[in-house]
A and B are shown apart, each in its own frame.
Chain A
Amino acid sequence: MPVYETKSYETKSRPAGLSRRTAVMGLSAGIAALAMPRLGRAADDTIRIGFPTPLTGPFAAEARDQVKCAELAVKLVNDKGGIAGRKVELLVRDDKLNAGEAATRTLELIEKDKVHAVVGALSSAVQLAVNEVTRARGVIYVSISQSDTINEAKDFSKYTFHEALNPHMTTAAVARQTIKKGMKVAHLVADYAYGHEMLRGFKRAQAAIGAESVGEILHPFGAADYSTFMPRLMSLRPDVLCISNFGRDQANAIKQAVDFGIKQQMKIVVPVILHNQRLAVGPDVFEGVVGGANYYWGLESQNKTAAEFNKAFRAANGGAIPTDYGAYGYSGVGSLLQAMQAAGGTDTDKVVAALEGLQYDLTKGPQHYRKCDHQSVQSVLVLESKKKSAMANENDLFAIVANDPGADEMLRSCSELGHAT
């Protein structure tokens, strides 16, 4: 076995090899130091926002957009003189889509970099790990990735805010547009928190509508090949196939389903339809797929805030447009900074109170954090991927099927989540 051999070689004394190894280690340490410069703290009164996000891994495309938008939110505030005369600094860290890594980075941000608040994470499992750390240390955390459990009393703390949509409201909006009474629904679900929560949401929505579930297939998270699930899905003969996964899993699963001719038999529905994944596999594959979204740039034709957000983003990013998860970065950091502005600084209790009372409109219309669970009440979009011939330009990816305005009724009640009412 090579593994054992490798070990036995290491015990041999080979001065040349040793020195080379040391050199390699020294070099990589040097590179690491270069890659993460400890920025000199210009002034001690800088407001520091920690931003853990999976810059590497299968959600990298979405994470990068989050960072761009978060940086834009910070820049716009700094351009106007900062908060109570203090500059704002964003400290971005790669959580590698790993709960342990995210917890370590967050702890570092709090203990070493002395951040005043944390925004970020892009996986339902990772955000819960970040939340564990922040709530134990009494630091405000604004989560910008989908989760239902983070609002439930078990995981909640007064420092926990959830800016992203949650699976309950997303799946309800998508199901309303795609599932009719008496339909048969099959589910292909990523086997981790996000998939489980979306499945729970869809099942609740379809039960309310009166549709029947004919099968649920859990697939391993991060799988590259979905062909082995297709024969079974087709044999179930559903009217609708709900594919509840995220990032590249979504692109690969839809692409392979289309290869198997699934679209000729049933409608493909996803809880969250991703801008970057649609770009990654092209219009023909995604044509007709329906899914929910927190944001789509095309909203600018019917919403003034969206037009302004797009304009600011285009100006800062050479004419590029902001994407769905990018918008979370902007509204997550933006709402926090507005609350700090209102609180006149970074005093945690004052900022929490300001966030609870905040009415903000940053990307798509009015939003506010519900008092009992700190879930952002906001509009939900339902989008349908356009076919190639219907696209006006290369960014014209989706048609807006529905734009449900935000309302407390979209959410599960405070008492259902276990909060005192």
Chain B
Amino acid sequence: MDLSLIIMQLFSGIALGAVLVITALGLTIVFGMLGVVNFAHGALFMIGAYAGLYLASLTGSFWWGLLLAPVLVGAFGMLIEFVLVRRLYGRSIDDPLLLTFGLSYILVEGVRIVFGSDGIPFPTPSQLIGVVDLGVGFFPKYRLFVIALVAVVLLVLWLMLEKTRVGLIVRAGARDPQIMRVLGVDIGKVWLAIFGLGVGLAALGGVLAGPMRSVNPEMGTLVLAEAFVVTVIGGLGSIVGAVVAGLMVGICISMVALFAPEMATIVMFALMAAVLLVRPQGLFGLKGRA
């Protein structure tokens, strides 16, 4: 086994991890701030891919699809929060879970009715077709772009949460919404925005995955499971946890694929089990939460 192959494998793992991070991020933010386990996350990922594809073909440019789909689907997410999820705050955690679970079925079935149950081609943007020579092997340009974009999104998110006044309110709201209300902050608006952000991130993941996988109504099912595994490993509600766990899972899958390829899917669940045995709250989770 030569070194260049292992380096290539490491790279594939990071690229895979980048997609996992972006999908887990929305899930963990919504849980961390709102205490809502969004089971429709995978379906909204799928909606994002379809929206991106539709907008890209409408405008003739992948880039408009990439920009507009997360915004529009995020707005749709806010509508979901405003009309449905909002009514269930303060109840047990399984109420919004059931609601979003049902919603995911409706969304998948809706897409089947509108776009059909067959896969639809989502062409890679022409600027990103082809491979780059990394010195140790060739790697698709598009996947490099995904790594870079996810890094930028993470940076923006971090700056927003840590360095702005809005971020301060959001973080405080996650700790103690009651006090925030007393201090005169309309926490309902904050939650609306956070839910929209979470859904928008799911949609962004969907658009990014489009040119790598076939776009079909069931594409979110597996993604939901993966996002949950990453979120649980990282610690429910922890953004840093989602990033670290996403990359960890990606690299683990990739390394296992090299030595025992048929175990490539199982390994992520094994990793989750191992982490939970040692740290039941996940790597970066807070004790007593979740």
Contacts and interface: CB of A to CB of B under 8 A. Distances in A.
Interface of A: 1-2, 5-6, 9-10, 12, 14, 17, 24, 56-58, 60-61, 64, 191, 217-220, 222-225, 227-232, 234-235, 248, 251-252, 255-256, 259-261, 276-277, 279-282, 284-285
Interface stretch (B113-121, B178-186, B195-203): B113-121
Contact of B119 (A17, A227, A280): A280
A58 B218 contact: yes
Nearest to B282: A1
A343 B269 CA distance: 54
B138 A61 contact: no
Contacts of B219: 224
Contact of A282 (B19, B94, B123): B123
B218 A280 contact: no
B97 A248 contact: no
Interface in B1-26: 2, 5, 8-9, 12-13, 15-16, 19
B262 A259 contact: no
A224 B212 CA distance: 9
A276 B257 contact: no
B5 A231 contact: yes
A224 B261 contact: no
A57 B119 CA distance: 12
Given A2-B290, A255-B212, A259-B212, A223 B92 contact: no
A223 B226 CA distance: 12
A220 B264 contact: yes
Q: Is chain A's interface secondary structure helix, strand, loop, or mixed overall?
A: helix
A227 B13 CA distance: 9
A260 B131 contact: yes
Contact of B290 (A1, A58, A227): A1
A9 B93 CA distance: 8
B213 interface: yes
Given A1-B290, A6-B94, A276-B119, 11 more contacts: A1-B280, A219-B262, A219-B264, A223-B265, A225-B212, A228-B16, A231-B137, A232-B258, A260-B138, A281-B121, A281-B214
Contact of A228 (B94, B97, B218, B264): B264
Interface of B: 2, 5, 8-9, 12-13, 15-16, 19, 37, 91-95, 97-98, 102, 117-121, 123-124, 130-131, 137-140, 142-143, 212-214, 216, 218-219, 222-223, 236, 253-254, 257-258, 261-266, 280, 290
Contact of A57 (B102, B131, B218): B218
B241 to A, nearest CB: 15
Most chain A beta carbons < 10 A, residue from B130, B214, B264, B265: B214
Contact of A219 (B37, B222, B261): B261
A61 B213 contact: no
A35 to B, nearest CB: 11
Contacts of A5: 93
A256 B254 contact: no
Contact of A229 (B142, B216, B261): B261
A248 B217 CA distance: 12
B143 A259 contact: yes
A227 B37 contact: no
A374 B111 CA distance: 41
A362 to B, nearest CB: 25
24 contacts: A1-B280, A57-B218, A58-B218, A60-B218, A61-B118, A61-B119, A64-B117, A218-B261, A219-B261, A219-B262, A220-B263, A220-B264, A223-B264, A228-B13, A230-B12, A231-B5, A231-B12, A231-B258, A232-B258, A255-B214, A256-B213, A261-B131, A277-B119, A281-B119
A219 B264 CA distance: 7
A220 B118 contact: no
Contacts of A57: 218
B155 to A, nearest CB: 24
A227 B14 CA distance: 11
Contact of A220 (B9, B218, B266): B266
A65 to B, nearest CB: 10
A256 B212 contact: yes
B273 to A, nearest CB: 13
Given A218-B262, A234-B137, A282-B123, A261 B130 contact: yes
Contacts of B139: 260
A260 B140 contact: yes
A187 B45 CA distance: 32
A24 B280 CA distance: 33
A256 B5 CA distance: 18
B97 A6 contact: yes
Contacts of B264: 219-220, 223, 228
A173 B123 CA distance: 32
Contact of A252 (B13, B214, B261, B266): B214
Contacts of B19: 225
A12 B143 CA distance: 48
A64 B119 CA distance: 13
A190 to B, nearest CB: 10
Contacts of A223: 264-265
Contact of B15 (A224, A227, A261, A280): A227
Contacts of A260: 131, 138-140
Contacts of B12: 227-228, 230-231
B130 A225 contact: no
Nearest to A277: B119
B119 A222 contact: no
Contacts of B253: 228
A17 B37 CA distance: 18
Contacts of B5: 231-232, 235
A259 B124 contact: yes
A67 B185 CA distance: 57
Nearest to B92: A9
A234 B140 CA distance: 13
Given A6-B93, A228-B264, A261-B138, A280 B9 contact: no
